[in-house]
Amino acid sequence: MVQVRIAVPSKGRLAEPTMRLLEAAGIRPLYSDERALMLPTSIEWVTLVRLRTEDIPSVVEACAADLGVTGYDFIVEQSADVEVLLDLGFGRARLVVAVPESSGYESVEELPDGVRVATKFVNIAERFFRERGIRARIVRVSGSTEVMPLLGAADAILDITSTGTTLAVHKLKPIATVLETSARLVACKEALKGEKGRLVRSVVELVKSVLAAQRKKLVLMNVPERVLNRVLEVLPAMAGPTVARVERTPEPMVEVITVVDEDELPEVILSARERGARDIVVVPIEKVMR
């Protein structure tokens, strides 16, 4: 049987939301063991491979895994030749240049030649400063970048931030955004061909169906026929509301079924009730297959 391997982050900020997404898509590990690097799943031809997030682009590029979830920042850093299939919408952050608050610098253009920049994104840093004509000394680090200026090992850093809290704790301020990043689903290009390609694309469709269902609700309501048109005026739907006759009611009645974005739900329900809808039921949606 053809097997599909999915590389997933073993730890870090992308690990937990990745597993939640896959489990919602019906791809559940058969057991949980932090020591296990390969996990069989509820789909017999799908195996999860637990790796460091930064290793996933190169592993997928080499087709050692067919699919992978990693950060866009690591894809760019490695110039990985992979197919980027989906922005998964979580792990959003910025790759920024930051300097000590006391440095006096307010922009990258003010940094002097020879400035020492600590980062694990060496390739991105070199390109960024070269394009701006700044001769920077890149200090490669693999651990806590934020402490480097405090130790006197660097004058600035280039690192990931989501809320800015860690930078503030270390008395650093961002002076430039280098890259916007988030979790991406990537594929080995060869794995998209032939029989394996059919299976890989079916996994991608499962993931897409979960993303499409996020923040959407199924809404069912009974509506007297005499006010049906007025209620339909305020109801959104992906293709149009479904209308079905309700039998054995004192007055002619129909059931209306529609899909509503969660943000629009309060206004839609209020407007529908004001126009005569009743018996309104709101149901979560697991997947939307388009």
Predicted local confidence at residue 239, as pLDDT: 63
User: Which tens digit of pLDDT belongs to each residue from 180-195?
Assistant: 999 999 999 999 999 9
CB 100 within 8 A of CB 113: no
Predicted local confidence at residue 248, as pLDDT: 75
Place of tokens 């999915």: 6
Arithmetic mean of pLDDT, 132-137: 94
Domains 4-90+182-213 and 93-180 share a fold: yes
Place of tokens 């991608």: 204
pTM beyond 0.75, yes or no: yes
* Spatial separation of the C-alpha atoms in residues 60 and 200, rounded to whole Å: 13
Checking 231-238 for CB contacts under 8 A at 24+ apart, the result is 231/256, 231/272, 231/275, 231/276, 231/277, 232/256, 233/275, 234/268, 234/271, 234/272, 234/275, 235/260, 235/268, 235/272, 236/260, 236/261, 236/264, 236/268, 238/288
Domain 4-90+182-213: give its CATH architecture.
Answer: 3-Layer(aba) Sandwich (3.40)
Predicted local confidence at residue 95, as pLDDT: 96
Predicted local confidence at residue 146, as pLDDT: 93
User: Which tens digit of pLDDT belongs to each residue from 58-111?
Assistant: 999 999 999 999 999 999 999 999 999 999 999 999 999 999 999 999 999 999
Q: What angle do CA 33, 38, 41 make, to 5 degrees?
A: 85
SS3 280: strand
Token pair, residue 209, equals: 């169906």
Domain 93-180: give its CATH architecture.
Answer: 3-Layer(aba) Sandwich (3.40)
Arithmetic mean of pLDDT, 43-50: 96
* Spatial separation of the C-alpha atoms in residues 76 and 125, rounded to whole Å: 11
Predicted local confidence at residue 288, as pLDDT: 85
Burial category of 186 from C-beta neighbours within 10 Å (exposed 0-12, middle 13-18, buried 19 and up): buried
Token pair, residue 148, equals: 């480097």
211 dihedral zone (left: phi>0; alpha: psi -120 to 50; beta): alpha
Q: How many CA atoms lie within 13 A of 173 on its CB side?
A: 10
User: Which tens digit of pLDDT belongs to each residue from 225-276?
Assistant: 999 999 999 988 666 788 998 887 788 999 999 999 999 999 999 999 999 9
Residue 235, H or E segment: none
DSSP 105-118: --SGGGSPTT-EEE
Token pair, residue 3, equals: 């097997």
Within a 10 A sphere around the Cβ of 125, how many other Cβ atoms? 25
Q: Provide the residue ranges of all domains of the chain, joining segments of one domain with +.
A: 4-90+182-213, 93-180, 216-284
Could you please state the CATH topology (level 3) that the domain comprising 216-284 is classified under.
Answer: Alpha-Beta Plaits (3.30.70)
Q: Which pLDDT band holds residue 224 (cuts at 50, 70, 90)?
A: very high
